[in-house]
Amino acid sequence: MKVNQKQIKQIFKQEQVQLGKGSMELINFEMYRLARKMAKRCKEGNIKRLTPELFGFAVGIRQDV
């Protein structure tokens, strides 16, 4: 599932939370940081291709690789 800015705004709207100026940029930066961290874990674990089965390892849930 690919999430765009409109969908993110809708999620916050459903919870009746307003997004202040600059919030979307910070959310995008946080997603970027998460992707970098996941990629780093994959490299450290010698994972050459991230598959759904290995996703837990990438997000920090240790599994036998």
Do the Cβ atoms of 28 and 35 come closer than 8 Å?
A: no
Query: Among 40, 31, 46, 30, which Cα is nearest to 60's?
Result: 40
In angstroms, the Cα distances linking 32 to 15, 26, 29, 37 are: 24, 10, 5, 9
Whether residue 59 is predicted with pLDDT greater than 60 in this model: the reply is yes
Q: What is the reported pLDDT for 3?
A: 87
| Global confidence as pTM | 0.78
Average per-residue pLDDT for the chain: 92
Q: What is the reported pLDDT for 61?
A: 87
Whether residue 65 is predicted with pLDDT greater than 60 in this model: the reply is no
Cα torsion 37, 21, 24, 43 to 10°: value is -10
